[in-house]
Structure 1
Amino acid sequence: MVEHIVIFKFNETTSVEQQTEAIEKLKNLKNEIYGIVDIQAGLNFSDRSQGFQVGLTVRFEDKQALEAYGPHEKHQEAVSYLKEIGLSDIVVVDFEL
């Protein structure tokens, strides 16, 4: 299994409602992309986040599933929405379980 962790930072004009909609779009990828075992996402509540507002974890069956995820049409649609609402920075970590 592979764990994929992403944290997102948005610009100051991005509303909490837009962030919440982005979270739902990301969570729905589990039903649209083969190889996702589990997906979780939510709004940050920690004051240690260095300005990052949303966290995402995706567990994949294997590295091949992770590699297929990036270019997948549904993932790219979610990425486009994130950019549209003001995505300004991300941090990504991938590791095997």
Structure 2
Amino acid sequence: MIEHIVIMKFNEATTLEQMQEGARRLEQLKDEIPGILEMKAGINFSERSQGFEFALTSRFESKEALEAYGPHPKHEEVVEYLNSIGLSDKLAVDFEHIDPVV
């Protein structure tokens, strides 16, 4: 299983409602793109975020599913929306679960 985590910053003009809409659109991708097992997005409430105010966590069946997600037209539509509302920075991390040694 593959984990994909993205944290984002937006400019000062971005509203809470716009970020909530971005979260809704991201979560809908689970039903629109094959290979996504889970997709959760939301607005940060922690003071430890170094200015990152929005997060996405998602799980994919495989590396191939993650690779197909990036250029998928539905994903690109959501990225276009996030850019249009003021996305100013992002950081992504991808990793594969390691089976525990028994």
* TM-score normalised per structure 2: 0.94
Structure with bigger gyration radius: 2
Question: What pairs up with 1:8-23 in 2 under 5 angstroms?
Answer: 8-23=8-23
Matched, 1:90 2:100: no
CA distance, structure 2, for counterparts of residue 42 and residue 19 of structure 1: 8
CA distance, structure 2, for counterparts of residue 52 and residue 16 of structure 1: 14
In structure 2, the gaps of 5 or more residues are: 98-102
Number of aligned residues? 97
In structure 1, the gaps of 5 or more residues are: none
Give a deviation string over 1:68-93, Cα, whole Å, max 9, x none.
Answer: 00000000000000000000000000
Give a deviation string over 1:24-63, Cα, whole Å, max 9, x none.
Answer: 0000000000000011111100001011111101100000
The code of the aligned residue for 1:52 comes to F
CA distance, structure 2, for counterparts of residue 54 and residue 29 of structure 1: 17
1:61 is aligned to 61
CA distance, structure 2, for counterparts of residue 83 and residue 15 of structure 1: 13
CA distance, structure 1, for counterparts of residue 52 and residue 21 of structure 2: 16
Structure 1 consecutive aligned stretches of length 4 or more whose deviation exceeds 2 Å: none
2:40 is aligned to 40
CA RMSD of aligned residues (A): 0.4
Identical residues among aligned pairs (%): 62
